[in-house]
Structure 1
């Protein structure tokens, strides 16, 4: 998969090039708006990581031009502009995500892969397993035996995070940083709210003896696989 990085800061561009290459991507890095459009036409990248403030124009206009030209892959803004109106403008121009600098590289890769999986549709690589629980990321459906539970996008992201380390508590702060840190006006309590939503959705799985979301006092939340078979 070829990723086009549009970033005029050479240090950030080099960091992204090294990091994404280590993750298995082919990476093209350019530093100007005109180079971004030329490279997109030449390489047809699977995704674009796009700075807003470029020396010869705005990344907002680049995003609009890419969408007008038919580019259907994910476009993620990477910008130091962190006002709500800036994020709204970026998303309104056709971007799939808006990540504020400085950012954690691991979170960037996780978001990038999530958007790529969402665009590519089904397939076994779309599924996460923890015990007998399966999460289909393409349809945002949790499956346990004959039980099918439809989830919202954020509920599926939360479950995927917990399924990544079953039986290990994930701190509330880590969950917040991974899923909500770049959204303005959101407090840490949003984690508890969505854990509650997820528990309600997974209640049929728990009644069938499947994994449950447990609270580990002082340590966070975890997907508990050590459950008993249901009584008959």
Structure 2
């Protein structure tokens, strides 16, 4: 994990081990790490000893790189901070908030919990102008974001991984459900595809999910006119 600790003495900077054999890189400044965000991706980002505004600015800097958008963030507030401000970049489904210092037991407990669920090695599925976050079920197109169920995200991930190519219904069912493509699962697949199309109906991707009669489906990455 990467811990940005504002004001950390130079002697504390560098790599060390935390409980449960967690490797942590401690740095006083985020700039150098943001500059090489495309090269180094961690399972958890911890921000300590800084204002909420500074935390948000750092997170926005990392999120300019797509893969960093999948990394959980632990926002650590100072002990003497009045109240507990929630950063605008906070995502309740994967991020955490704690109070104290990096070495505080309750902060280290939250670090262990979040690091165990770290998803820094996960990949976005990107094809043309489309960007799918399968873990959180979000399909992004320009400034638009569409929320998908877990199954819908699985189906789209399979199609987007082979853009503009027909993927057989059998392959989608075998990969998505881990079972054979009988009549029941074919009907379930059709229902999920119908729901996906409904969610995309008011977007530029309204006609992107195509049915190839007698075969399967494909995702056309070219924007509909």
Normalising to structure 2: TM-score of the pair? 0.43
Q: Which has the larger radius of gyration?
A: 2
Bigger share in helix = 1
Normalising to structure 1: TM-score of the pair? 0.42
